[in-house]
Amino acid sequence: MIPEKFREGAEKVISLIDGLGGYVVHHDDADGLSSAAVLKACFERKGLNFSFICLEKLFPKVVEKIHERGLPVIYADLGSPHAETISLKNRGRSVVLILDHHDPRPCSDTMVFDLNLEYYGFSGERDFSGSTVAYLFSLILDERNFDLSYLALIGSKEIPSGFVGVNAMILEDALEKGVLKRNKKLEVVKLGVSVDELFSACLLYTSDAADE
What does the alpha-carbon distance between residue 156 and residue 98 come to, in Å, rounded to a whole number? 17
Instruction: Please report, in tens digits, the pLDDT of each residue of the chain (212 residues total).
Output: 899 999 999 999 999 997 778 999 999 999 999 999 999 999 999 999 999 999 999 988 999 999 998 999 999 999 999 999 999 999 999 999 999 999 999 999 999 999 999 999 999 999 999 999 999 999 999 999 999 999 999 999 999 989 999 999 999 999 999 999 998 899 999 999 999 999 999 988 776 554 45
Cα 65 from chain centre: 21
pTM of the entire predicted model: 0.94
